[in-house]
């Protein structure tokens, strides 16, 4: 294939992948809008919209340059490459914002979005996929992470952990005697729709990260990547369903979907390196980790309405380490990446959130939280005509 | 075009088609979640998720091999071909599960999903599109069925008929004096969203089934296929709307959307063989068949909340026969395919469902059905905060 | 690249763009279904479905021929080109129908849809992108309008203005003392979902309008087009959010999303001609125009529930003129196009709607409007089980 044909085909392929990732914007928005209580639905949707706008803008104007240096690309249009990378950045903050929903204020989180997307995340990308300014230092990383089990998902998860530690749990979530009060999701069809839009977006996320489809080997690698991505999600859903049935005799759909997402996060580090059966194991463990991690975080009173710590942080770590177990990549290289990026992401997010919190409190006031963020933050109720059952 | 370029382009094209088909997963889920009553919404969504997980898994691990033998492909990545075929299989069970919703239990249907996807459906594919083990026997088929009017839609419809015969109607659907009680859909926006996601998925279903875009003729065939697919759906919607207006002076959106789906099912056998006007006729008849078939099935007390028998079984048959009427394909070949596959699909599904039913009853108990499957099967209500009007 | 490869790649690229545009069908449907009151939701969804069916059909059977003459294409499958153009036409009527929702009857608007899609819009396309029958007359246009800031969005907006003038405001929208009664959107998640589906569809709308991806320059132009399209939407969302915060201390999500859509409309005339920073300005002004235009239209008692006049008409004009300001295209050429097409679209739409209104009243009767169009037009309530809060 001549070089121009390859350039065109790769551009088309990456634009296709980009569009799939953008489906994750309504994906996250619907998932979170379905999980929170009706009084906080508009706030969650507004937050997701602001994240898409500010994260993309921050990355476009500053972040891309920090991550990759000069904008250049040989094998596809540089604009397509920029779009593809830009599509990633919002996800990091989506992961974080979902886990602090029902009490986080939109404006301060928007400031965090801007800093994360224009500085913090771009530094992580520089370190791993990008210009690599720490090359040949003690911090040089050899971690393999195709599409971001660590770079995207753990980073978002660490930022979330920092945010939860600063902001605390929702009022009434944990009782004084150590109990956990169940706060049911308000709209299960939206949760399901959102989860499947995310799943579909993942095909673009991972498939596009291969970066070159314009050769027989490239085409095989992209197709294998999408196949393995899907398989791991399937395995995660199945094991989560099975465990719920064993434990409670009920098929809790939110846990099944989170199991699938856990499998998808876990495979993301190396869907191109596994054979077609290994993702069964990666996803099975990923789905099981979600089921077991959710109550553990609650035990530590880390209140995360959407289960993002279990899905993204735990499985981001698991998925990155799995590459060191199942492939020829070195386990220690994977571990080093997990730890170093984890420390950087957690400490820097904590520091930035801490400072923002001093200037503009991250958390809504008690009475605002009781009344719901929709009225107080947005002035718009999500379902004004539907009478509340309680 | 050199062979490598063709390989790459076909892989990209089939991956694109695959992704479109996966939009049918939330498509079916939203459509069905919108049609059933609020008390059964979570169960329907859970069923759809389990179907995607188990059907894909069954086909990946066993079914593909039964259908096609060794995994090989000359003109695209074999992984892309596998993904594309795998995306089809869940649809067969989706068709069936939708029609028994509001009374079918999830776990036994999951067992059926596994058997359908790993054995029954793969045998049908072997017989038609695949390895063809019955070649040169009396059962050899020459039916033309590009994307599955028979192979997918009738098979799902026959399995549904078997399931309805075994499970019976929803409580209260038919009165003792022969009347039919209308059970209104609970969420029309979800029905509409689901129908359009299905419609979009169809472009991948039919367009991808052409199998080769990498030549001038191939590109024309794919584009014509998508054009004709769409036209038949348009015609189905228009005729269903017109008939509703004539009959009731009202534009019943659920019937209009089912008319569109009927047109889409009918065209699926040969969208590549028609000129651009014939789909008007195929879809018009398809849409009309839906409007006329729905009350007929109710007359026979075959309770099918989503109208799947009318959409998929009736139009699967009509669409396959239409190829024998409007193209040079032989009518008798088409008829033979419809009958033989129909007998196989109905008998085998009935037998498997009958056996499963003896071990693990397919149908929920009366009080569970009254209370709703969401609480009993999933432990999760779909809209816990919305007060019921009745 | 040889000519056959280019033909195949362009066909695939335009089919991909076509599919993205079709996501705008549920996009408009969900956006409008979320904005209107629950009693009018089914009617809006039915209207959108009828528009897709009749607009596509009208364009397929007659309009394409009026617009482009004989069906021919050198650089891609003619069927793909037809599909792409056909996907546009429904949008013109969607823009119009949204703005008269909650009082417009479905059947007369369906007649208008047929006339708009088979005659009026095709004449505009003939004049601009198509066969150009007015070439070398005084009406010859040199306006640059890549994907339809004027051809699609203003035309839809002018038709809407004509319709509002004929049909008047919703009952109770304006009080006798000149006040405006706020009628809140009934379902914010649907509004958000719809807006993001539209946003995604825009990538196909504008990206596909470049018309040729099969060269290095073509690939760059398509990627730049999509990048700039997105940037303008981001800027529109951000400025609308900022202005709402300044004005009301609240982040009104419906205004933020309309700001994004305003930015998307404005960039549509020339996303391929701008550098990557100019869309920031185009979109910022676009978003601001939405925020300022909405109360102005209300002052004139032009009742437009979805804000379509501000989003599509105002920004269609702004976007077309912006090309004359920021690029080498002549401002007067752009202005001439805006004015001439505006006059044609407004006058012809007004005349056709006026005539239809004499034969079949466009507007529902007062008591029907009070009870809601769902029951009267469709016989199907959107959410029959949800108890109304008022």
Residue B253 has pLDDT above 70, yes or no: yes
The pLDDT value recorded for residue A74 is: 87
pLDDT, tens digit, 9 for 90 and up, residues C14-67 = 999 999 999 999 999 999 999 999 999 999 999 999 999 999 999 999 999 999
Q: Calculate what percentage of chain A has a pLDDT beyond 90.
A: 95
Distance CA B198, CA B28 (A): 7
Average pLDDT over residues B135-151: 95
Q: Which residues are B180's β-sheet partners?
A: B174
Q: Which residues are B217's β-sheet partners?
A: none
Residue B131 has pLDDT above 90, yes or no: no
Residue A71 has pLDDT above 90, yes or no: no
| The two three-digit tokens of residue C65, written as one number | 């021929």
Environment class of B275 (CB within 10 Å of its CB; exposed 0-12, middle 13-18, buried 19+): exposed
| The two three-digit tokens of residue C347, written as one number | 């006058």
Residue A315 has pLDDT above 70, yes or no: yes
Average pLDDT over residues A115-128: 97
Our CA-based measurement puts residue C76 at a distance from the nearest CA of chain A, in whole angstroms, of 15
| The two three-digit tokens of residue A106, written as one number | 């939109």
Residue B390 has pLDDT above 80, yes or no: no
Residue C72 has pLDDT above 80, yes or no: no
Residues of B in contact with C45 (CB under 8 A): 188-189, 192, 253
Q: Helix, strand, or coil here: A36?
A: coil
Interface residue A7 vs chain C (CB under 8 A): yes
pLDDT, tens digit, 9 for 90 and up, residues B266-304 = 999 999 999 999 999 999 999 999 999 999 999 999 999
**A347: Cβ contacts below 8 Å, ≥ 6 apart:** none
Mean pLDDT of chain B: 96
* Global ipTM: 0.97
A77 contacts C224? CB cut-off 8 A: yes
> Which residue matches tokens 């979907």?
A257
Residue B71 binned pLDDT confidence (cut-offs 50, 70, 90): low
Residue B95 binned pLDDT confidence (cut-offs 50, 70, 90): very high
Our CA-based measurement puts residue B361 at a distance from the nearest CA of chain C, in whole angstroms, of 29
Q: Helix, strand, or coil here: B363?
A: strand
pLDDT, tens digit, 9 for 90 and up, residues A248-274 = 999 999 999 999 999 999 999 999 999
Distance CA B146, CA B129 (A): 9
Nearest CB to B77 within list A189, A199, A219? A219
Count CA atoms within 13 Å of residue C133 on its CB side: 10
Whole-prediction pTM: 0.98
Residue B356 has pLDDT above 70, yes or no: yes
Nearest CB to A386 within list B2, B53, B386? B386
Candidates C26, C186, C233, C251: best to mutate against A (most CBs of A within 10 A) is C251
Distance CA C258, CA B249 (A): 35
Residues 247 through 266 of chain A touching chain B, CB cutoff 8 Å = 248, 250-254, 256-257, 260
Distance CA A2, CA A24 (A): 34
Pair B279, B232: CB distance under 8 Å:
yes
The pLDDT value recorded for residue B281 is: 98
Max Cα separation, chain B? 70
Residue C238 has pLDDT above 80, yes or no: yes
Residues 20 through 39 of chain A touching chain B, CB cutoff 8 Å = 20, 37-38
Interface residue B50 vs chain A (CB under 8 A): yes
pLDDT, tens digit, 9 for 90 and up, residues C161-182 = 999 999 999 999 999 888 999 9
Length of chain A: 390
Interface residue C390 vs chain A (CB under 8 A): yes
Q: What H or E segment, with its residue span, contains residue C261?
A: helix C253-267
Distance CA A51, CA A59 (A): 12
Pair B338, B318: CB distance under 8 Å:
no
For residue A202, give the chain B residue with the closest CA. B19
| The two three-digit tokens of residue B273, written as one number | 């063989």
Mean pLDDT of chain C: 96
C82 contacts B250? CB cut-off 8 A: no
Q: Calculate what percentage of chain C has a pLDDT beyond 70.
A: 99
Environment class of C172 (CB within 10 Å of its CB; exposed 0-12, middle 13-18, buried 19+): exposed
Distance CA A93, CA A76 (A): 28
Q: Which residues are B104's β-sheet partners?
A: B363
Interface residue B153 vs chain C (CB under 8 A): no
What does residue C303 show for φ and ψ, rounded to 5 degrees? Answer: -85, 115
Residue C225 has pLDDT above 90, yes or no: yes
pLDDT, tens digit, 9 for 90 and up, residues B265-274 = 999 999 999 9
Distance CA C80, CA C204 (A): 13
Residues 190 through 249 of chain A touching chain B, CB cutoff 8 Å = 192-193, 196-197, 199-200, 203, 207, 213-216, 218-220, 222-224, 226-227, 230-231, 234-235, 237-238, 241, 245, 248
Average pLDDT over residues B188-201: 98
**Secondary structure, 3-state, chain B:** CCHHHHHHHHHHHHHHHHHHHHCHHHHHHHHHHHHCCHHHHHHHHHHHHHHHHHHHHHHHHHHHHHHHCCCCCCCCCHHHHHHHHHHHHHHHHHHHHHHCCCCECHHHHHHHHHHHHHHHHHHHHHHHCCCCCCCCCCCCCCCCCCCCHHHHHHHHHHHHHHHHHHHCCCCCCECCCCCECCCCCCCHHHHHHHHHHHHHHHHHHHHHHCCCCCCHHHHHHHHHHHHHHHHHHHHHHHHHHHHHHHHHCCCCHHHHHHHHHHHHHHHCCCCCCCCCCHHHHHHHHHHHHHHHHHHHHHHCCCCCCCCHHHHHHHHHHHHHHHHHHHCCCCHHHHHHHHHHHHHHHHHHHHHHHHHHHHHCCCECCHHHHHHCHHHHHHCCCCCCCECECC
Tell me chain C's radius of gyration from C-alpha atoms: 20
Distance CA A276, CA A221 (A): 12
Is residue A68 left, alpha or beta, with left meaning phi > 0 and alpha meaning psi from -120 to 50?
alpha
Mean pLDDT of chain A: 96
What does residue B381 show for φ and ψ, rounded to 5 degrees? Answer: -80, 150
Interface residue C349 vs chain B (CB under 8 A): no
Which chains neighbour A (Cβ–Cβ under 8 Å, 3 or more pairs)? B, C
In order of C93, C133, C148, C337, the CA distances from C122 in angstroms are 13, 12, 13, 16
Distance CA A91, CA A116 (A): 11
Interface residue B11 vs chain A (CB under 8 A): yes
Average pLDDT over residues A185-197: 98
Domains defined for chain C, CATH in brackets: 3-378 (1.10.3430.10)
């Amino acid at each position: 294939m001549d070089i121009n044909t390859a350039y065109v085909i790769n551009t088309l392929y990456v634009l296709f992948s980009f569009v799939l990732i953008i489906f994750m914007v309504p994906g996250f928005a619907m998932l979170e809008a379905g999980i929170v209580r009706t009084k906080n639905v508009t706030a969650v949707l507004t937050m997701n919209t602001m994240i898409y706008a500010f994260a993309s803008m921050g990355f476009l104007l500053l972040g891309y340059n920090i991550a990759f240096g000069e904008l250049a690309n040989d094998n596809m249009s540089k604009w397509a490459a920029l779009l593809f990378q830009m599509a990633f950045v919002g996800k990091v903050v989506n992961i974080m914002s979902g886990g602090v929903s029902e009490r986080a204020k939109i404006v301060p989180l928007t400031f965090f979005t801007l800093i994360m997307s224009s500085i913090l995340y771009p530094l992580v990308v520089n370190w791993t996929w990008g210009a690599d300014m720490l090359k040949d230092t003690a911090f040089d990383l050899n971690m393999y992470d195709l599409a971001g089990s660590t770079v995207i998902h753990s980073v978002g998860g660490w930022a979330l952990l920092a945010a939860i530690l600063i902001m605390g749990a929702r009022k009434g979530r944990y009782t004084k005697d150590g109990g956990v009060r169940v706060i049911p999701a308000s709209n299960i069809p939206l949760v399901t729709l959102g989860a499947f839009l995310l799943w579909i977006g993942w095909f673009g996320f991972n498939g596009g990260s291969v970066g070159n489809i314009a050769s027989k080997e490239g085409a095989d690698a992209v197709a294998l990547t999408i196949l393995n991505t899907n398989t791991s999600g399937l395995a995660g859903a199945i094991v989560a369903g099975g465990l719920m049935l064993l434990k409670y005799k009920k098929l809790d759909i939110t846990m099944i979907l989170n199991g699938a997402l856990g499998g998808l996060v876990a495979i993301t580090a190396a869907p191109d390196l596994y054979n077609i059966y290994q993702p069964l194991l990666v996803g099975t463990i990923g789905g099981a980790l979600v089921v077991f991690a959710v109550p553990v975080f609650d035990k530590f009173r880390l209140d995360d309405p959407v289960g993002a710590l279990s899905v993204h942080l735990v499985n981001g770590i698991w998925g990155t380490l799995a590459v060191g177990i199942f492939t020829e990549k070195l386990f220690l290289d994977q571990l080093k990446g997990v730890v170093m990026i984890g420390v950087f992401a957690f400490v820097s997010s904590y520091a930035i959130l801490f400072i923002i919190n001093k200037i503009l409190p991250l958390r809504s006031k008690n009475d605002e939280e009781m009344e719901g963020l929709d009225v107080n933050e947005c002035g718009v109720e999500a379902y004004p005509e539907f009478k509340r059952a309680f």
